[in-house]
Amino acid sequence: MSIVFQSNKGPTAIEIVTIECIILAGGLGTRLRSAVPDLPKCMAPINGKPFLKYLIDYLLEQGVTKFIFALGYLHEIIEDFIKSDYPALQYSIALETEPLGTGGAISLACKKATTKNVIVLNGDTMFKVHVKELLHFHLQQDSSCTLSLKPMQDFDRYGVVEINKDCYIQDFKEKQFYHSGLINGGVYALNIDQLNELHFPEKFSFEKDYLEKYFSNQKMMGLIQDEYFIDIGIPEDFERAGKEFSAS
């Protein structure tokens, strides 16, 4: 399926885009190990279904047509699940033989991409962004990387992202208590060529070595989407997901 977007270059200029998504699902999940000892985080059962199933189903509803799964720890469990539950899914696997960090995992997965711009997200987080809106904004602005930002109140688990009136990233603030602020929801639209131009090593952090280091001289932007957000990376939110997903 192709999505037709109206460009800001004029009424006759359009972009035709196949939406391709990288799901980062190679982490060790140490914080969740007490609740789910023998599974990758994304396969943690929520009301009898792997968290990854909720995530894939949502992305399919949003128009994603191709998937790249960035895998590592216990990858066979994830691969068997995809083969059995999604036999018709268009996907490929980018497999880490050793931990490469978030940046290394994304860079490796980008080698499997068939489009110049991809959506990137974490396999243990559900942020119900409007994917087409995010990609449309990213392409219109010719952004190197566009972050989906979630407004939050009274929190200390996340740092804060500051943007200006034109949605350019201005700063990343450290974790501490904030009465209100915008957090990085972990869903990105990413220009692969512009990432590759920086020639990162095989192992690097996407957040520290790319976003926080280069936001001032790469065109990085933030799009606010005040939608449902949950990160099941800690046992408390894993339990909360069970209650909220059953109610939805």
**Eight-state DSSP code of residue 168:** B
The Cα–Cα gap between 103 and 86 comes to 27
pLDDT given for residue 37 in this prediction = 60
CA neighbor of 169 nearest in space, from 146, 153, 191: 146
pLDDT given for residue 34 in this prediction = 54
The Cα–Cα gap between 84 and 86 comes to 6
CA neighbor of 106 nearest in space, from 122, 83, 128: 122
Q: How many CB atoms lie within 10 A of CB 131?
A: 23
The Cα–Cα gap between 222 and 147 comes to 5
E runs forming strands in the chain: 3-6, 14-17, 20-25, 45-46, 49-50, 66-71, 91-95, 117-122, 125-127, 145-155, 160-163, 169-173, 178-191, 220-224, 229-231
Residues of the chain with pLDDT under 70: 1-17, 28-37, 246-248
pLDDT given for residue 35 in this prediction = 56
End-to-end Cα spacing for the chain: 28
- Has this prediction a pTM greater than 0.75? yes
Decide if 10 contacts 20 (C-beta within 8 A): no
Please give the structure tokens belonging to residue 233.
Answer: 């990376």
pLDDT given for residue 12 in this prediction = 35
Domain ranges of the chain: 3-147+185-223
pLDDT given for residue 11 in this prediction = 41
pLDDT given for residue 16 in this prediction = 46
The Cα–Cα gap between 174 and 16 comes to 38
Any bridge partners for residue 27, and if so which?
A: none
Which CATH number describes the domain made up of 3-147+185-223? 3.90.550.10
Q: Write down the H helix ranges in 15-130.
A: 51-61, 75-85, 101-110
> Crossing angle, helix 51-61 and helix 75-85, to 10 degrees?
50
pLDDT given for residue 239 in this prediction = 87
